[in-house]
Amino acid sequence: MEKLSADVLVIGGGATGAGVAWDASLRGLDVVLVERGDLATGTSGRFHGLLHSGGRYAVKDPAAADECARENVIVRRVAADSVEDTGGFFVTTPFDDPAYADRFAQGCRDSGVPCQEVAPAQALREEPRLNPRISRAFRVPDASIDVWKLVWALSRGAQERGARVLPYHQAVAVHRDGDEVQGARVRSARTGQELDIEARVTVSAAGAWGGQLAALAGIEGVHVMPGKGIMIAMNHRLVDTVINRCQMPTDGDIIVPIRTVSVIGTTDVGTDDPDDHTVLQDEVDAMLEDGERLIPGFKQARALRVWTGARPLFEDRKENGASESRDVTRAHALLDHRERDGVSGFVTITGGKLTTYRLMAEETVDAVCRQLGEARPSRTATEPLPGSEDGEYYRLAERLDRREQHLLEDQLICECELISRGRLEAAFRQRGTTDLDDIRRQLRLGMGPCQGGFCVYRTAGILHGLDGIDTEQANAALVDYVAERWKGEWPILYGDQLRQARLDEWIFQGILDIEHLP
């Protein structure tokens, strides 16, 4: 069996795990990062795209609000290329308790969340689709963030400093000798081959799966409550500002503009299985009704797809008896198992928000350094990620600007996301993959209004034209992509979306007959 050795093995390739790899590599540690799927395909890739100001938790969870407020400023600086500075509003609709607005404003002051009350008329001038009957409006520094761009920048930065990043490698065993964890065995999801990784310290950054990983190490009592939520993407940007209802956090109370679409979220239901992606029709119907309360006419817009994510909510049952997922703090939990359980060489980081990934990574690597007995300060609060050196935020028109400079030089493949043939071919060669879903995450292929209806078969043809890719592989890539997109489309087949799905069926089944491709 092939073996690797490292100072630090990080298990989990979401924002936190990639952040740990980046932080540790900046401190000069030798790092291996493994993820059971592609990077950011767990919780990090299954949320609504919000960079929190902290306002959402200012009343109910001040500790989480404080973390978000501080980290919002840092992430904007070090990961600017992944951030669109949309700003945010908290608005009191006719369906909300008017008294909560004053509690919200005081909670922001107490927790350090920047907040400015503006006249409802001003909010309506900036966002004319808002419910015209809003009575209060507060401006906060919410933003949207492209999680895949962020995680790949973290990964690239770590690799440039010597880290080894292994997607599609699942931890199947944790090596423990007495009271010391010494690494893990991982298995490739694509080849089935196993690999032993020896490490001085192993970090569990598995989020909602953290309890399962701790159990592999023989450590009981790590209770992570997965809080499942659904989100729905609408076919265009109904708003250009993050819109929140000014009330205690509940279902369907936020709309986030992210790239060419807008996302409404989210429900919060406890589940025993973080891989449970069941979508109930009642949840979809309720979410669309909630959107109507914020934006009249919301239900007349076309819903593109629905998906679920599992929040990693850590419940320390030694200290409290919280059983409902909304009652569990959104602040993060760092478990140094040498101190907590007498098992050295193992650290768990869980809970928190994507907004606080950097802080979570810093505290985790601090704990790693303590176990190693080596004082190495963190630099992630000041060191920009690759692509963010100029400190410029992402702009919605950025791709269009680039495209207009080369209109006749490069064939356009994905009109919704303005992806050219040259970028596709470069991504295929860089990733060394035939999985179109991998390319979707990297370039946002097929994530616009057509959901791949017009671009994915072109992409499969380009894939087939690359060296070493045969007909069967290209056909399988096309069929797998369409099947994966369908998972998020079927729960919302009504109105215009049903007509779009029917058109796609004519293309894929009636013309291409993809189910019978060789």
pLDDT tens digits, residue range 241-286? Answer: 999 999 999 999 999 999 889 999 898 888 889 999 999 999 999 9
The DSSP-derived string for 379-391 is -TTTSPPTT-TT-
Q: What is the pLDDT of residues 204-231, one digit of tens each?
A: 999 999 999 999 999 998 989 888 999 9
User: Distance between CA 284 and CA 486 in Å, rounded?
Assistant: 16
Per-residue pLDDT, averaged over 327-350, amounts to 88
- pLDDT at 445 > cutoff 80: yes
Least confident of 92-96, 141-145, 154-158, 280-284: 280-284
pLDDT of residue 401: 85
> Is a pLDDT exceeding 70 seen at residue 319?
no
Provide the residue count of the chain: 518
At 317, the pLDDT band (50, 70, 90 cuts) reads: low
Rounded Cα–Cα distance for residues 100 and 95 (Å)? 12
Distance CA 89, CA 143 (A): 11
CB crowding 50-87: b at 16 or more within 10 Å, else e? bbbbbbbbbbbbbebbbbbbbbbebbbebbbbbbbebe
Most confident stretch, 216-225, 239-248, 418-427, 468-477: 239-248
Closest among 238, 23, 246 to 134, alpha carbons compared: 246
pLDDT for position 69: 97
List 230's β-bridge partners, or say none.
Answer: 308
Q: Which of 266, 260, 236 is nearest to 353 (CA)?
A: 266
Q: Averaged over 453-468, what is the pLDDT?
A: 90
Q: Where in the chain is the domain with CATH 3.30.9.10?
A: 82-143+225-311
Q: Are 322 and 299 in contact (CB under 8 A)?
A: no
Name the band, by pLDDT with cuts 50, 70 and 90, for residue 330.
low
Listed in sequence order, the residues at least 6 apart from 419 whose beta carbon sits closer than 8 Å to its beta carbon are: 412, 413, 443, 444, 445, 455
How far apart (Å, rounded) are the C-alpha atoms in residues 341 and 336?
A: 8
Query: How do residues 30-53 score in pLDDT, each as one tens digit?
Result: 999 999 999 999 999 999 999 999
pLDDT beyond 60 at 321: no
For the cut 80, the answer to whether the pLDDT of residue 294 exceeds it is: yes
Average pLDDT over residues 1-10: 95
Q: What are phi and psi of 132, to 5 degrees?
A: -70, -5
Q: What is the pLDDT of residues 371-384, one digit of tens each?
A: 999 999 999 999 99
The listed range with the strongest mean pLDDT (121-125, 301-305, 399-403, 415-419) is 121-125
Closest CA to 263 of 240, 231, 292, 290: 231
pLDDT at 153: 97
Q: What is the CATH number of domain 2-43+148-223+316-372?
A: 3.50.50.60
Report the relative pairing of strands 194-204 and 2-11 from DSSP bridges.
Answer: parallel
Task: Indicate the average pLDDT of the chain.
Answer: 93
Residue ranges of the chain assigned to CATH 3.50.50.60: 2-43+148-223+316-372
Q: How far apart are CA 137 and CA 440, in angstroms?
A: 37
> What angle is formed at CA 468 by the lines to CA 463 and CA 470, rounded to 5 degrees?
65
Among 225, 305, 210, which Cα is nearest to 269's? 225
Picking from 9-13, 174-178, 269-273, 360-364, which range would have the lowest pLDDT averaged per residue? Answer: 269-273
pLDDT of residue 326: 45
Taking the domain 82-143+225-311, which CATH number applies? 3.30.9.10
- pLDDT value at 322 more than 50: no
pLDDT at residue number 222: 93
Q: What does the block give as tokens for 219?
A: 């450590």
Percent of the chain with pLDDT over 90: 79
